[in-house]
């Protein structure tokens, strides 16, 4: 739902900015690299120190590069396999940095091994969820399911919760518990999504193999 509606909204909003960068000679790949570097820096500099509010502010500023670079490529008419590959690969790097930052906090001053483990699970499951779709499509299956929690949902839930939890340092009481709750939601949602995709690939694979056997038998009959 977020991919369908929020992405379309922000694409319209960011189109003038994308056009401005094009006029300045900035390439889409440069925007992708800078955006990823900003997200990684925001996550790994601020989150391990428990500075969730400012870390989220920095990450949010750079995470929109994921929309800007694609917008620039479309305006330039340069959409390419390389651009799509680079964008998808660096998305995984950015996601890993965000949940890695949470894990470092809970392994250190956050002093909570359970939440450290949940953060690591969110990191790993997010990568595997993306892999299942990419791998399914690479073997010719449509993988016709989105799932409960995709990348957009993982980012929104985690970053909103982290930003609000960071208000605890400004004197807002009790709000620090939003982040642990969000991490559990993302972990469970990612697990459900992974199961949904695995089941879908299993079904589509069986259907494709059955169709192939049917076509082969039909061909044999026709040859007779």
Contacts of 133 (CB under 8 A, 6+ apart): 143, 197
Q: Give the total residue count for the chain.
A: 224
C-alpha–C-alpha distance, residues 50 and 216, integer Å = 61
The annotation places the binding site at 29-32, 66, 69-70, 74, 80, 87, 91
8, with CB counted inside 10 A (0-12, 13-18, 19+), is exposed
The annotation places the binding site for Mg(2+) at 66, 69, 87, 91
The annotation places the binding site for a CDP-1,2-diacyl-sn-glycerol at 29-32, 70, 74, 80
The answer to whether the beta carbons of residues 91 and 151 sit under 8 Å apart is yes
The answer to whether the beta carbons of residues 90 and 97 sit under 8 Å apart is no
User: Which residues are the active-site residues?
Assistant: 91
The answer to whether the beta carbons of residues 180 and 158 sit under 8 Å apart is no
């Amino acid at each position: 739902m977020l991919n369908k509606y929020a992405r379309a909204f922000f694409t319209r909003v960011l189109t003038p900015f994308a056009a401005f960068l094009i006029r300045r000679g900035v390439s889409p790949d440069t925007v992708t690299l800078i955006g990823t570097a900003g997200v990684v820096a925001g996550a790994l500099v601020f989150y391990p120190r428990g500075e969730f509010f400012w870390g989220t502010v920095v990450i949010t500023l750079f995470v929109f590069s994921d929309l800007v670079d694609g917008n620039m490529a479309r305006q330039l008419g340069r959409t390419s396999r390389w651009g799509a590959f680079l964008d998808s690969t660096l998305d995984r790097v950015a996601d890993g940095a965000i949940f890695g930052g949470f894990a470092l906090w809970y392994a250190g001053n956050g002093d909570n091994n359970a939440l450290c483990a949940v953060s690591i699970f969110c990191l790993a499951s997010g990568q595997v969820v993306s892999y299942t779709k990419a791998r399914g499509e690479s073997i010719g299956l449509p993988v016709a399911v989105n799932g409960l929690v995709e990348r957009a949902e993982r980012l929104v839930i985690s970053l909103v919760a982290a930003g609000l939890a960071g208000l605890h340092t400004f004197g807002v009481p009790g709000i620090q518990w939003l982040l642990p709750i969000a991490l559990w939601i993302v972990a469970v949602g990612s697990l459900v999504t992974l199961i949904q995709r695995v089941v879908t690939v299993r079904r589509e694979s069986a259907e494709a193999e059955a169709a192939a056997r049917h076509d082969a038998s039909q061909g044999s009959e026709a040859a007779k």
